[in-house]
Amino acid sequence: MQNKERLFQRFVKEATKKHKNVSAEVLLERLEKREQQAPTSVGGGVGIPHAFVPGLDRPTIGALLLQRPIPYGPTDADKVKTVFFLIGREGNTEHHLPILARIARLCSTPEFLQVLAKAKTGREMHRIITAWDARISH
């Protein structure tokens, strides 16, 4: 995976496999439009692209660890290696900002990012994220 466009396509493919009512075209368009408005790189090699789409039952979060950092923002310094995706249901924004805040809080902890970077499987990533979220949220 060399660029943000391919990264988004990969996430959209996975998300729409799980959520049959969500249009891949709409989700990709919404993610790209949001990024054009304001890149969601939050520093530390982390990106948190997010969007709202129709057809979703509940907010959905995905996370990917990239083998190599990819260009993500307007400057060469804006590269990401850890990506959290968040999609929410159009018209239901109440959970979106609290979830983004929790992800940002996790990712502002360098030790969390170091531990997460060592995860070898999606299940291991989920376990690490859940454990650290519980630890930091309290």
Q: What is the pLDDT of residue 76?
A: 66
Give the CATH number, domain containing residue 14. Answer: 3.40.930.10
Q: State how far the alpha carbon of 17 is from the alpha carbons of 12, 13, 14, 83, 117, in Å.
A: 8, 6, 5, 19, 25
Q: Which domain holds residue 109?
A: 4-137
Distance spanning both ends of the chain, measured CA to CA: 36
The helix-helix angle for 96-107 and 110-117 (nearest 10°) equals: 80
Q: Give this prediction's pTM.
A: 0.90
> What's the pLDDT tens digit per position in 28-56?
999 999 988 888 888 889 999 999 999 88
68-82 tens-digit pLDDT: 999 887 776 778 999
For tokens 């979703």, what's the residue?
A: 56
Q: What is the pLDDT of residues 110-137, one digit of tens each?
A: 999 999 999 999 999 999 999 999 998 7
**How many domains does the structure of the chain reveal?**
1
Which is it for the CA torsion 121, 122, 127, 129, positive or negative?
A: positive
